Amino acid sequence: MKLILSRKGFDSANGGCPSPILDGRLLCPLPIPDAGAPTTYAEISPFNGSPIARIVEDLTRDRFRRGNRAHLDPDLRRDAIARSARWRPIFGQAGAAQGHLARHGIGRGDLFLFFGCFRRAEQIEGAFRFVRGAPNLHVIFGWLQVGRVIRATDSVAAEIPWADGHPHLAAPDRYKNNTLYFASDRLSCIGIDASGGGTFDRLGPKLALSQTDPYIGCSAWRLPRWFDPGERPPLSYHLKASRWTDCETSIRLQSVGRGQEFVLDVDQYPEARAWLRSIFRAANRY
């Protein structure tokens, strides 16, 4: 089994700001802008009673508005837009990032944990604003256990009509090496009875990757000590020993600034299974 830590959603390069943490704990991952996508921000269902379009407009200071199109991917939330009854979570990848996944043989039974850049936000006089002084944090916001992998082509929407509307199917040829990962029915790879894909609703200690005590930047992660590679293959893109610092009860990783898909071979790190179960149990997702 492979674990993939997959970076997605708004950040400084995509959208220009983090996704918000609302009401102190609610994780609201924002899909990045994509002029070629079939869905607008206005068409995405509200989050905690607030229109996604309004949140995007306020936090980007109108750089992106309700009519702009959104790359709804990974597509993990059934009620995000109108769905067919047979719909299930989907993730699309392409280009060099998909090449990286393919080289690591990512397929059926492997598990994506999606993380992004988040920051606490609040409403002041009806407008959403980031909390002054609140840090940017890398936070895990969703998951998908792979049930099926297929190349995205023009015929897929006809063969799998409930997948129509996914941004990687809107114009499949605009992506090189365009690939779709469909969620399995259930989260079986770590022995927990949960949906094969979904989102974590509330921020908790198990979901925060960034070290916060002390805080030394979003990309400085505090991980369990067993992540220390030693003689084992490290989390992909993190080969340099200088990126790993032993902190007695944890390991600090200075995660790379570029790259979307970081792969860990769980067969080489059997401790990962208990850690993954603890994440879902802490979030009441089992």
Query: Over the stretch 252-271, which tens digit does the pLDDT of each residue have?
Result: 999 998 889 999 999 999 99
Residue 146 has pLDDT above 80, yes or no: yes
Long-range contacts of 56-65 (CB under 8 A, 24+ apart): 56/15, 56/30, 58/127, 58/128, 58/129, 59/17, 59/20, 59/30, 59/121, 59/128, 59/129, 59/130, 60/15, 60/16, 60/17, 63/16, 64/15, 64/33, 65/41
Indicate the residue type of 231.
E
Share of the chain above pLDDT 90, in %: 92
Local confidence band at 285 (pLDDT 50, 70, 90 cut-offs): low
* Cis amide prior to 74 (ω within 30 degrees): yes
Local confidence band at 157 (pLDDT 50, 70, 90 cut-offs): confident
Averaged over 230-249, what is the pLDDT? 95
Averaged over 54-81, what is the pLDDT? 97
The pLDDT assigned to 258 comes to 83
Q: Which domain holds residue 139?
A: 5-282
Averaged over 113-131, what is the pLDDT? 97
Residue 169 has pLDDT above 60, yes or no: yes
Q: Which H/E stretch holds residue 199? A: strand 197-199
The pLDDT assigned to 208 comes to 97
Pair 41, 56: CB distance under 8 Å: yes
The pLDDT assigned to 76 comes to 97
Percent helix, strand and coil across the chain, each rounded to 5? 20, 30, 50
pLDDT digits (tens, 9 = 90+) for 23-32: 999 999 999 9
The pLDDT assigned to 236 comes to 98
Q: 128 in helix, strand or coil?
A: strand
Lowest-confidence region among 33-42, 55-64, 157-166, 215-224: 157-166
pLDDT digits (tens, 9 = 90+) for 187-235: 999 999 899 999 999 999 999 999 999 999 999 999 999 999 999 999 9
Indicate the number of domains in the chain.
Answer: 1
